[in-house]
Amino acid sequence: EVLSEQVTVKPLNSISISAPLISRLYGSLKIARIVDDGREVMAGDTVIIFDPSEIKRAIVQAEQQLEIAQAEYDKMKSTQLSEIEDLQSDLELARLSQEISRINFETATFEPEATKKEISLKLESAGIALNRAQEQMENKRIIHREDLLQKGLTIRQLTSRLSDANHSMNSLFVVSPANGIAIKEENWSTDQKWAVGDSPYSGSRLIELPDLAKMTAEVNINETDISKVMPGQRVEIRPDAYSDSVYAGKVESVANLAQNKDYKSRIKIFPVRISIEGHSKTLLPG
């Protein structure tokens, strides 16, 4: 007795090509171009291109912000250098004033006490002025260092953002990792294969590169017929698109437990796995 059922052909091994992982800052992915289903591709061929307009805007914005931040950083360094030069001049003047006051004090041995007292006070005042000038110099250096660190952090953040945007831009051009036949996956929201204009989530599987040398078939057998099927039985497979082609196979396994055909049905089915002998470019997954 011959039992005829519709099977789904699957590769034993395959490589999946997924949508790139990019930040939500660049909006949603949108397919601008995708390879035709069943087309033979070579490693390195571009198989998917996503719309780059959002990331292009992000790159232009990041470049402008980085240019402004770098200009502000350079201006800040120049201003700081001028301030330090002014403080160094003040410090040098304070040092000279103290030195003059010290010399006057040392040569005032024979001056009246009132004059000596005045010279001593001037020396003390000069010392205080010198200490204040030194403190101002150190404080200003600390402030300058913190300002430059903050501005430098902004530049690093913008540089990182620009680098990420450029990396994301490159990832919009998806290439095939190996030679093979491109089989497009289904878009769960349309029940159709992925197409131009679709917006997959990052990481969604879009294309499969099956290993056509090792193919299997899966078939669901009604519970009323499962007693007729057992491992080792020979199977003939005829593709819908090439009905004159016949492929030989063998039942590999029969499920021990029944499943509902679908969530609305009470009909029970048993999944059966079939190994397919040989391979051909006309026998594709699906």
Alpha carbon 179 to chain centroid, angstroms: 25
User: In the prediction, which pLDDT does 14 show?
Assistant: 87
**Residue 45: predicted pLDDT:** 95
**Three-class DSSP labels, 187-251:** ECCCCEECCCCCCCCCCCEEEEEECCCCEEEEEEEECCCHHHCCCCCEEEECCCCCCCCCEEEEE
230 pLDDT above the threshold of 80 = yes
Where does the pLDDT of residue 119 fall: very low under 50, low under 70, confident under 90, or very high at 90 and above?
A: confident
Average confidence (pLDDT) over 66-82:
94
Tens digits of residue pLDDT in 240-272: 777 778 888 999 999 988 888 777 778 888 999
Q: Is residue 150 scored above 90 in pLDDT? A: yes
- Counting residues of the chain whose pLDDT is more than 70, the rounded percentage is 99
Q: Does residue 212 carry a pLDDT above 90?
A: no
**Rounded to two decimals, what is the model's pTM?**
0.65
Give the pLDDT confidence score for residue 166 in this predicted structure: 94
Q: What is the pLDDT of residue 234?
A: 93
Q: What is the pLDDT of residues 8-26, one digit of tens each?
A: 888 888 899 999 999 888 8
The pLDDT assigned to 250 comes to 93
The runs of H, that is alpha helices, within the chain are: 53-106, 113-171
Length of the chain: 286
